[in-house]
Amino acid sequence: MASYRQPGVVLTDHHFTVPLDHDDPAGEQIELYARQVTGTGSGADRLPWLVYLEGGPGSAARRFTGAQAWLARAVRDYRVLLLDQRGTGRSTPANRQTLPLRGGPAEQAAYLARFRADAIVRDCEAIRRRLTGGAPWTVLGQSFGGFCATHYLSTAPEGLSTVLVTGGLPSLDAHADDVYRAAYPRIRRKVEAHYARYPQDVERARRIVAHLAERPAELPGGHLLTPEAFQSLGILLGGGDGSHQLHYLLENAFVPGPSGAEPSDSFLEGVRPVLSFAARPLYAVLHEAIYAQGGRPTGWAAERVRAEFPEFDPARAYDGGEPLLFTGETVHPWHFTTDPALRPLRECAELLAARADWPALYDPRRLAANEVPVAAAVYHDDMYVDTADSLRTARAVRGLRTWVTDEYEHDGVRASGTRVLDRLISLARDEI
Give mean pLDDT, residues 65-82: 96
Between helices 242-250 and 176-197, what is the axis angle to 10°? 60
Q: 20-29 pLDDT, tens per residue?
A: 999 999 999 9
Q: 168-209 pLDDT, tens per residue?
A: 999 999 999 999 999 999 999 999 999 999 999 999 999 999
Same domain, 121 and 206: no
Q: 146-164 pLDDT, tens per residue?
A: 999 999 999 999 999 999 9
115 pLDDT more than 90: yes
Q: Is 154 a catalytic residue?
A: no
Same domain, 163 and 182: no
Report the number of distinct structural domains present in the chain: 2
* Alpha-carbon gap, residue 267 to 248, rounded angstroms: 9
Q: Is 143 a catalytic residue?
A: yes
* Alpha-carbon gap, residue 374 to 298, rounded angstroms: 30
59 pLDDT more than 80: yes
- pLDDT at 138 (0 to 100): 98
Burial code (b: 16+ CB inside 10 Å, e: under 16) for 216-228 equals ebebeeebbbbbb
Percent of the chain with pLDDT over 70: 100
- pLDDT at 41 (0 to 100): 87
- pLDDT at 320 (0 to 100): 83
Q: Residue 409, by phi and psi: left (phi above 0), alpha (psi -120 to 50) or beta?
A: beta
1 pLDDT more than 80: no
Same domain, 347 and 391: no
Same domain, 169 and 108: yes
Give mean pLDDT, residues 385-395: 97
Same domain, 273 and 156: no
- pLDDT at 319 (0 to 100): 87
Which pLDDT band, with edges at 50, 70 and 90, does 331 fall under? very high
Same domain, 275 and 250: yes
Domain end marker among 354, 370, 396: 354
Burial zone of 402 (CB within 10 Å; 0-12 exposed, 13-18 middle, 19+ buried): buried
42 pLDDT more than 90: no
Domain end marker among 332, 354, 376: 354
Which pLDDT band, with edges at 50, 70 and 90, does 64 fall under? very high
- pLDDT at 318 (0 to 100): 86
- pLDDT at 108 (0 to 100): 98
Which pLDDT band, with edges at 50, 70 and 90, does 62 fall under? very high
Same domain, 118 and 149: yes
Catalytic-role residue among 332, 410, 411, 416: 410
Same domain, 116 and 79: yes
Q: 220-240 pLDDT, tens per residue?
A: 999 999 999 999 999 999 999
Q: Which residues does residue 379 pair with via DSSP β-bridges, in sequence order?
A: 405
- pLDDT at 155 (0 to 100): 98
* Alpha-carbon gap, residue 236 to 91, rounded angstroms: 27
Catalytic-role residue among 59, 84, 91, 143: 143
CATH number of the domain encompassing residue 39: 3.40.50.1820
Burial zone of 307 (CB within 10 Å; 0-12 exposed, 13-18 middle, 19+ buried): exposed
> How far, in whole angstroms, is CA 170 from its chain's centroid?
12
- Number of neighbours of residue 148 by Cβ within 10 angstroms: 33
Same domain, 151 and 240: no
- pLDDT at 294 (0 to 100): 83
Same domain, 183 and 296: yes
- pLDDT at 28 (0 to 100): 97
The DSSP code for 19 is E
- Number of neighbours of residue 211 by Cβ within 10 angstroms: 21
309 pLDDT more than 90: yes
Which pLDDT band, with edges at 50, 70 and 90, does 2 fall under? confident
* Alpha-carbon gap, residue 174 to 294, rounded angstroms: 9
Helices (H), 276-345: 281-285, 301-306, 315-318, 335-338
Q: 221: domain range?
A: 176-354
Q: Is 173 a catalytic residue?
A: no
Same domain, 225 and 106: no
Give mean pLDDT, residues 371-390: 97
Of 53, 71, 47, nearest to 135 (Cα)?
47
Domain end marker among 354, 379, 409: 354
* Alpha-carbon gap, residue 332 to 134, rounded angstroms: 42
* Alpha-carbon gap, residue 29 to 231, rounded angstroms: 40
Contact in structure between 37 and 82 (CB atoms under 8 Å): yes
Q: 279-296 pLDDT, tens per residue?
A: 999 999 999 999 999 889
* Alpha-carbon gap, residue 133 to 146, rounded angstroms: 24
Same domain, 62 and 102: yes
Count of alpha carbons within 13 angstroms of residue 125, beta-carbon side: 19
Q: Are strands 374-379 and 401-405 parallel, antiparallel or unpaired?
A: parallel
- Number of neighbours of residue 280 by Cβ within 10 angstroms: 19
